[in-house]
Amino acid sequence: MKIFDIPGFPNPLRIRIVLAEKGLGSQIEFSKIDLLAAEHKQPAFLEINPLGTVPVLQLDDGTNISECTAITEYLDNLDGNPILTGKTPKEKAIIHMMQKRAESELADPVGYYFHHATPGLGAALQPYKSPEWEGRIEWGNRQRDKAVAGMHYFDQLLRSQPYIAGEQFSMADITVYAGLIFAGFASIAIPNQCSALLAWQAKVQQRPSVKNPA
């Protein structure tokens, strides 16, 4: 199997943590895509993923799977022992619910703020951004505020349970963790009053898969 990504970026990190959790790192060939040079927006990469995003998992038969949730589902279920996406219908439903919230209430708003209200990744990507519109910066700043509200939401959640989807570490935790890394990169600080979220972040940072992702 091959993964197209770039080390250190939030979404690629999500999958690298999954690989480490599942012990699959040695089975993957990594192909670096230069996001700063807009390589992911060029015809060669768009043949792999028409949406022009990373990561992408390429199977040995040539099938390309994009979207972190889909990639995680595939990798987690390869051995018939899913540990990140749930085993029972109830576990799967709750994990997917929280996974969606991790994206919609934290990771995505951080991305919208970063790409629309800041210079983002630089000049090479400017031609691929949405056209300028009146109020774009204001809209981006509202997304930043939404991300901070998301931090408060997850903080409240973690005051009554150890992980985002309940008692077990799951892909929802990986997404929130990566979202917080992205937030730090975008200079969106975790509010000091979010003590449960900060404690959870410190705990997750000590997981072997997070300290040493694939």
141-183 residue pLDDT tens: 999 999 999 999 999 999 999 999 999 999 999 999 999 999 9
The helix (run of H) or strand (run of E) holding residue 3 is: strand 2-5
Indicate whether 123 and 199 sit together in one domain.
yes
CA-CA distance, 117 to 140, in Å (whole number)? 5
- The 10s digit of each residue's pLDDT in 38-97 is 999 999 999 999 999 999 999 999 999 999 999 999 999 999 999 999 999 999 999 999
Q: How many residues does the chain have?
A: 214
43-50 LR contacts (CB < 8 Å, sep 24+): 45/4, 48/4, 49/4
Indicate whether 71 and 110 sit together in one domain.
no
The answer to whether residue 139 is domain-embedded is yes
Q: Read off the tokens for 101.
A: 């919230």
Indicate whether 100 and 129 sit together in one domain.
yes
Indicate whether 73 and 103 sit together in one domain.
no
CA-CA distance, 150 to 22, in Å (whole number)? 28
CA-CA distance, 214 to 209, in Å (whole number)? 8
- The 10s digit of each residue's pLDDT in 91-114 is 999 999 999 999 999 999 999 999
Q: Are 115 and 141 in contact (CB under 8 A)?
A: no
CA-CA distance, 21 to 5, in Å (whole number)? 18
The answer to whether residue 138 is domain-embedded is yes
Torsion of Cα atoms, 125 then 130 then 132 then 137, to 10°: -90
Confidence band, pLDDT 50/70/90 cuts, at residue 133: low
Q: How much is the pLDDT for 209?
A: 98
From the list 110, 106, 194, the residue with the least C-alpha distance to 158 is 194
DSSP bridge pairs for 29: 2
Indicate whether 66 and 148 sit together in one domain.
no
Q: How much is the pLDDT for 129?
A: 66
Query: What amino acid is encoded at 201 in this protein?
Result: Q
How many structural domains does the chain have?
Answer: 2
CA-CA distance, 117 to 138, in Å (whole number)? 8
Q: Are 127 and 175 in contact (CB under 8 A)?
A: no
Indicate whether 44 and 99 sit together in one domain.
no
Indicate whether 123 and 72 sit together in one domain.
no
Indicate whether 64 and 98 sit together in one domain.
no
CATH code where residue 45 lies: 3.40.30.10
Indicate whether 115 and 58 sit together in one domain.
no
Domain extent at residue 7: 2-77
